[in-house]
């Protein structure tokens, strides 16, 4: 009875969850860079995330698969964690982040990949304190979001295209897919690209107001190719939460400047609180 009483009615993302997120991101950057698909460090990164997420209380499933790329066939690794309310036919929300780095580019990927991969681990830690009587949650860490040459049917988004197959095969009643990317930026400004579901954009903005940060999220006219796109194409309602102004004129993106010094626990806390409140609304 006491253990049940300690469970939170609403999902809360705390400073400790943000700290865990930051620790995971630092581990990925310092020990697993570059994290290109099919490389030893890429595999180490997937193992590291699995270990951290398992320690946070998640039951993580590894999915190793092979796919063709412009540079030949490569091995990829996706990770899945499911939190069930007791009724698998109830609504599901999927939250997805990629952990790979841009192939062939000198970029530690602290914000672009590591920050939100850590954020999902922090979220997993928060979810273990939460009752979810109305729905189920799936967290997905994808490999191979970054393209090698230019995005197309055989380049980029390998992990999320595979994740769509995973979700479809399990006939999940997915209400929403939330892609998170580059949300550890010290100068955090979360945007919602135009190629997303309008209803979810409204929920993101409403959630920001509910946590007292009404200026944290804004919709933009630009479209972004990210891990939400294969879900949109498959008919799911999906949204991308991304800070695409990383450094002056986005000058830190895909460069050696994408380091741990450019991200912060405070930004991860804000992003985590936003994400948690969206889940409170959706589930």
Average pLDDT over residues 76-103: 94
Give the phi and the psi of residue 118 in degrees, each rounded to 5.
-65, -40
Q: How confident is the model at residue 3 (pLDDT cuts 50, 70, 90)?
A: very low
pLDDT(99) > 60: yes
Q: 278 vs 93, 113, 238, 275, CA distance in Å?
A: 10, 21, 13, 5
| pLDDT of the residue at 241 | 98
The pTM (predicted TM-score) of the whole model is: 0.96
How many other CB atoms sit within 10 Å of the CB of residue 16? 12
Q: What is the pLDDT at residue 9?
A: 83
Give the pairing type, strands 217-219 and 238-242: unpaired
- What are the tens digits of pLDDT across the range 24-82? 999 999 999 999 999 999 999 999 999 999 999 999 999 999 999 999 999 999 999 99
Closest residue by Cα to residue 91 from 227, 203, 236, 229: 236
The domains found in the chain, sorted by start residue, are: 2-142+149-282 (3.40.630.10)
């Amino acid at each position: 009875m006491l253990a049940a009483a300690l469970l939170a009615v609403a999902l809360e993302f705390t400073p400790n969850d943000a700290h865990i997120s930051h620790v995971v991101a630092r581990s990925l950057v310092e020990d697993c860079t570059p994290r290109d698909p099919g490389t030893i460090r890429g595999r180490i990164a997937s193992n590291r995330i699995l270990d951290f997420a398992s320690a946070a209380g998640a039951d993580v499933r590894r999915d190793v698969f092979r796919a063709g790329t412009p540079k030949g066939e490569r091995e990829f690794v996706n990770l899945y964690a499911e939190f069930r309310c007791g009724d698998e036919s109830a609504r599901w929300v999927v939250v997805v982040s990629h952990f790979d780095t841009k192939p062939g580019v000198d970029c530690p990927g602290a914000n672009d990949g590591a920050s939100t991969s850590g954020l999902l681990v922090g979220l997993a830690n928060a979810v273990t304190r939460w009752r979810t009587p109305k729905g189920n949650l799936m967290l997905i860490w994808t490999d191979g979001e970054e393209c090698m040459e230019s995005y197309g049917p055989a380049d980029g988004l390998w992990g999320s295209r595979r994740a769509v197959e995973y979700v479809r095969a399990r006939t999940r009643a997915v209400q929403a897919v939330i892609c998170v990317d580059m949300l550890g930026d010290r100068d955090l400004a979360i945007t919602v690209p135009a190629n997303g579901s309008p209803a979810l954009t409204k929920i993101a903005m409403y959630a920001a107001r509910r946590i007292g940060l009404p200026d944290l999220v804004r919709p933009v006219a630009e479209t972004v190719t990210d891990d939400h796109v294969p879900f949109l194409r498959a008919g799911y309602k999906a949204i991308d939460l991304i800070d695409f102004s990383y450094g002056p004129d986005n000058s830190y993106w895909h460069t050696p400047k994408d380091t741990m010094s450019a991200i912060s626990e405070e930004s991860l806390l804000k992003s985590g609180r936003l994400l948690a409140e969206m889940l409170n609304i959706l589930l």
